[in-house]
Every structure is written in C-alpha cells, then in structure tokens.
C-alpha cells in the first residue's frame, strides 16, 4: 500500500528530474547531497516502487519516477498557487493600500472607490494623500504610496508633459473631457449643442493655473494661432469658477472639477477632442490591496462616464 507522499520529497524528485542529477538538485535546493539522497530513498519507500536506477556514476528516473516527477511539478504548482491565494486573501483581510491622487479625483472618484472597497473588504485600510501628478509619480517611485492616480492630456504635448510613464503598470480609469467655461449671463455663453472654437476666444481674458498647470491651455491656444492673455492665476477650481461667474474671464476645466463643484453662474461646453486620461499607476503588478483599490477606481470611473 502506497504511503502518503511528502511535499518536500516530491520537491526533491522534481529537482532531480529537472536538473538531471542528485548533485545539481542539491545545489538548486541548497541541500546537502546526502540529504537529497535520503529524501529520495524515503520517497521510494513511500511510493512502494523504484523511482531511480543507477546509470554510470549517476542516476536516472525509472518510468514510475518520471510519472511521479511530472505529477510532482503539477502538485507543487497547485500548492504554490493555493499559498499565493491565501496570502492574497490575508492581505485583503488586514492589508493597507496607500493612494496619491489629484484634488478633483479626491473629491469625486476616490470617495466612491474607498467606500466600495471597505464594504467589500472591511479589514482593509486606505491611506490617502493629495498630490498633483508629478508629485504623485515621485511618491510612487520612492515607495511612499502603492498607487498614483494621475492624468495626461491626450490631445496636446508640450515641454511640461510628464516623463514617459511606460515604466509603470497603468490602468485607465476615465477619459475626462475638457470644457470651456464662461459666465452664464454672457451673450456668448454656451447653450445646448454649442461647439466651442478656441479661435473665436483670442480676445478674451483667461483664468488659468500656475505655469505648469496652464501649459495645456497654452498649447491648445498655440495650436490654433494665439497666446491666451492670462488675467488671473489660480489652481483652485472653485475660485476659477467664481471668477468666471463674476465675468473676470473664461477658462478651461476638466469634467471632474465640475463634478466636484459647479458654480450656478457658469455655463460649460466640451471642447472638441480635448481629453485628459486619468490613470492608476503602480510599480510592477499591484499587491492584492492595491489591486482591489484599482478595481474600485475603475468602477467609480465607469459610473462617472455613464
């Protein structure tokens, strides 16, 4: 009657089959050679049938040995897979995901994603920090966060576009439309079906962010032949909308900022072809808590898009 087969002995047999010798198997497994020979002898006793035979100064597997070695690889693979699944489950029960995100995402996508995450995995905790994309990428590279929520404007490139992000694992969360924002009581305020044309706005005064944040506006205006006259500078999208509503100028704002806060005194219309892509970045494949968070960010992005 065959005895119960020991996983360590199966691992030794698989190593002998893979490497071709007891000596090479011992080296691969970091075992002493006598220890490998002992495990093989015990495995033969457990199996009740010869698994190896002498061949010159070495050994080779019998037919039974080859069969068991093949099955051992399968068994060990399944055991390792089960161990990974258990580790993932343990991580989702008591793990932590750290996220860096820009302000309008923190006010829209992130709360919904976090609420869903903790409902699905009550043992998970989430750390949040506000960072604009370049700082979020730096935090990700340094290991300060597990996930960086960033964006790139897809229709324009300029000197301040972020460095190549291909070194990161990237998951698209949302394609966020960029909108022209004007005062609601202007004669030229966007109405239903209005399609804005930047070239018609070359005489307007503009409200824009800092030099880095306004680079996308400047690039879009340059593409149609003019440089915008920046009258007010602020990165606060609430202040931008208030200034526009007061008639101080016009602006461009992404959809998430308007979802986070919308002043009753403004009118908006999507700028044709203008999109910023919101992405979740990780360094390599995400750990289970970060993967679960990204999955919920994707769901939150789908809700916004719908």
Cα dist. 241→186, 196, 227, 264, 291 in Å? Answer: 14, 18, 21, 9, 35
The strand order across the sheet containing 169-183 reads 125-130, 96-101, 147-153, 266-282, 169-183, 251-254
Give the containing element (helix H, strand E) for 266: strand 266-282
HSE-CB at 207 with a 13 A cutoff on CA atoms is 23
Q: Tell me: the pLDDT tens digits for 230-262? A: 999 998 999 999 999 999 999 999 999 999 999
pTM summary value: 0.69
- Of the ranges 23-32, 160-169, 268-277, which one carries the lowest mean pLDDT score? 160-169
Q: Tell me: the pLDDT tens digits for 114-164? A: 999 988 888 888 999 999 999 999 999 888 899 999 999 887 775 555 667
**Highest mean pLDDT: which range of 83-87, 95-99, 261-265:** 261-265
Q: What is the pLDDT of residue 190?
A: 59
């Amino acid at each position: 009657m065959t005895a119960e087969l020991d996983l360590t002995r199966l691992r030794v047999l698989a190593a002998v089959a893979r490497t071709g010798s007891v000596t090479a198997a011992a080296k691969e497994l970091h075992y002493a050679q006598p220890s490998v020979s002992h495990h093989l002898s015990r495995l033969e006793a457990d199996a009740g049938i010869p698994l190896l035979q002498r061949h010159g100064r070495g050994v080779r597997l019998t037919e039974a040995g080859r069969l068991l070695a093949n099955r051992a690889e399968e068994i060990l693979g399944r055991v390792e897979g089960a161990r990974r699944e258990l580790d993932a489950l343990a991580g989702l029960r008591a793990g932590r995901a750290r996220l860096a995100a820009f302000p309008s995402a923190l006010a829209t996508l992130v709360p919904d994603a976090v609420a869903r995450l903790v409902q699905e995995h009550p043992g998970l905790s989430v750390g949040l920090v506000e960072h604009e994309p370049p700082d979020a990428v730096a935090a990700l590279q340094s290991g300060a966060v597990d996930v960086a929520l960033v964006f790139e404007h897809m229709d324009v490139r300029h000197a301040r576009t972020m460095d190549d992000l291909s070194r990161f694992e990237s998951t698209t969360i949302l394609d966020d439309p960029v909108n022209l924002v004007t005062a609601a009581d202007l004669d030229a305020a966007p109405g239903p079906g209005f399609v804005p044309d930047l070239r018609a706005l070359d005489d307007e005064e503009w409200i824009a962010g800092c030099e880095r944040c306004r680079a996308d506006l400047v690039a879009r205006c340059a593409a149609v032949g003019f440089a915008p006259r920046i009258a007010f500078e602020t990165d606060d999208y609430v202040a931008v909308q208030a200034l526009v509503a007061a008639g101080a100028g016009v602006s461009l704002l992404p959809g998430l900022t308007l979802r986070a806060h919308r002043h009753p005194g403004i009118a908006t219309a999507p700028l044709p072809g203008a999109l910023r892509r919101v992405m979740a970045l990780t360094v390599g494949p995400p750990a289970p808590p970060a993967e679960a968070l990204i999955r919920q960010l994707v769901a939150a992005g789908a809700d916004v898009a719908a």
